[in-house]
A and B are shown apart, each in its own frame.
Chain A
Amino acid sequence: MTRYNFQSMAELLQIAADEGLTLAGVVIRYQEDLEGKSREEVRRAMGERLAVMRAAARKGLHEDIRSPSGLVGGGGKLLEERRLAGQSLCAATTARAIALAMAVAEVNASMGRVVAAPTAGSCGILPGVLLALEAEKGLDEDLLIDGLFAAAGIGMVAAGQASLSGAALGCQAEVGVAAAMAAAAAVEMTGGDAVQAANAAGVALQGLMGLVCDPVGGLVEVPCVMRNAMGAAQALVAADIALAGVQCYIPFDEIVAAMVQVGRALPPELRETGAGGIAACPTARKLARQIGIKTLDKDSLQENLSVASPGIP
């Protein structure tokens, strides 16, 4: 096994300190050793994923898209029009990030091509933050690829210690972890160090602790698409907090462990079953019925659950 192997944020930070590397630097070397490939090859592979993110962002911002259920589509485009008209209440980077994040999440909902990052349900957050920083701060392609590797490092730590599935631990494990990944990427791409990046990841995940998975009709649409925009904004907030030198205090590994505890404590109706939270609102049930989805209530869910909850990597 490669000497760049890490199981926890503590180990990842230790390797970074020992080798004088950024988080991205450690993850790139880890990936080179894992695949037996050159630095250029693994960077090119990540560059291809960035290209898919760009294409999804373009599609979501500029084309008329709609999910098969008809519930979502066009939100990112509206946000972008508002931004271009100079009407955004958010400052420049955030205004771009939320439009991009929503647009990419809508492309996902309408069966377009996306990069799961770390999941399909949270696929808008990283492209939102990265492409917004590119446009507003003039970051180049290489820096964005580094950012994706830094983000991957955060996701690898979280995936090793927790599940990244809303069905297992709620939305905190999807949008929460995606925001943590994007926050760390934002810090490293704009000149922060590895410790600050880890701090930013912790701040983001703390802020989204307990977020439940309660999609209307069980679809990755409402409120998932909007939560991608919220997650992108949270990631930028967390990055600013860390870059300002504010301490997170709680190590990222402990925050992930807390997320697992919180996720396990969530009742099944708040874990991607479409039977609780927003999904249980009267209007949500009506919408689900209109699009031909049989929803479960709390009681019928109990019967269904006798058949096991998914075991997810």
Chain B
Amino acid sequence: MDAFQIIGPVMIGPSSSHTAGAVRIGRLARAILGEQPLRAEILLHGSFARTVRGHGTDRALVAGLLSFDVADERVREALELAPREGLEVTFGEKDLGDVHPNSVQLNLEGREGKVQVEASSLGGAQVVVNKIDAFEVEIYGDLPTLVAAYPDRPGVIAAVAALLAGVGVNIAGMRVSRREAGEQALMVVETDQAIPPGLVPAMRALPMMERVIQIDPV
């Protein structure tokens, strides 16, 4: 327990789950895309869809996509600022199935690529990313996180662990999932220390590595 979790966070209102949490989801989604999105389709589910305007969830998600912080007063103007930043946003509703009531799917497109992210706001500004494209993940955004996609073959986990150990970064948590044995696999690694520059390029240079995403804490 931390005294500043009780007297804090400093945030833009009105709701830690529907506003601050939504800003964090936007920031995480942008980090997962790895660049400023040019186009964003935002599909709201459940409670997010019902109270979107009154809670400013729409502004908050877009503010996050623009990299604004949860305490940035520009959150309120994010919808007006987006076009000026070259971001085109559309909103819709979607039933995402058996997920938390405060959930959203973001379909992002940047200069380099595109990605589909599903995330939920759990309350008290805590969030979790549930899905990146077809992969189920569990990313909270509190710790530096690496996401790696590769064909499911022996040795990849050891190689990544060795790279991290080599730069003195401790692994706080690691989760590996795959669709089927031998198919594409996805690794999510949370670390105690910041991810030093050079580590992600080194991971990308590993044989068979298809995609590496770095997500700094938000």
Contacts and interface: CB of A to CB of B under 8 A. Distances in A.
Contact of A67 (B7, B9, B14, B101): B14
A201 to B, nearest CB: 13
A257 to B, nearest CB: 18
A293 B8 CA distance: 29
A111 B13 contact: yes
B55 A151 contact: no
A217 B47 CA distance: 11
B51 A218 contact: yes
Contacts of A153: 3
Interface string A157-188: 00110001101100000000000010000000
Given A217-B54, A218-B47, A45 B17 contact: no
A76 interface: no
A307 B11 contact: no
Interface residues on A, range: 35 or more
A156 B15 contact: no
A107 B53 contact: no
Contacts of A294: 50
Contact of A220 (B15, B76, B101): B15
Interface string A200-231: 00000000000000000111110000000000
A120 B15 contact: yes
Given A120-B13, A120-B14, A152 B123 contact: no
B124 A164 contact: yes
A66 B165 CA distance: 53
User: What secondary structure prevails in chain B residues at the interface with A?
Assistant: mixed
Contact of A109 (B4, B5, B13, B46): B13
A115 to B, nearest CB: 5
Contact of B1 (A114, A156, A219): A156
Interface residues of B, number: 42
A111 B7 contact: no
A221 B15 CA distance: 10
A220 B14 CA distance: 6
B122 A312 contact: yes
A207 to B, nearest CB: 20
A49 interface: yes
Interface stretch (A26-34, A85-93, A189-197, A244-252): A26-34
Given A116-B8, A119-B16, A148-B7, A310 B50 contact: no
Interface in B36-59: 46-47, 50-51, 53-56, 59
B192 to A, nearest CB: 14
Given A155-B6, A310-B17, A310-B102, A111 B53 contact: no
Interface string A102-113: 000001111111
B150 to A, nearest CB: 32
A111 B75 contact: yes
Interface in A278-305: 291-296, 304
18 contacts: A46-B3, A46-B7, A49-B10, A111-B14, A111-B75, A112-B12, A113-B71, A151-B7, A152-B3, A156-B6, A167-B123, A217-B51, A292-B53, A293-B50, A293-B53, A308-B98, A311-B122, A313-B122
Interface of B: 1-17, 19-20, 46-47, 50-51, 53-56, 59, 71, 73, 75-76, 98-102, 122-126
Given A313-B122, A313-B123, 17 more contacts: A27-B3, A68-B54, A107-B13, A109-B14, A120-B11, A120-B14, A120-B15, A126-B7, A151-B7, A152-B3, A152-B6, A156-B6, A181-B6, A274-B51, A291-B53, A293-B51, A294-B50
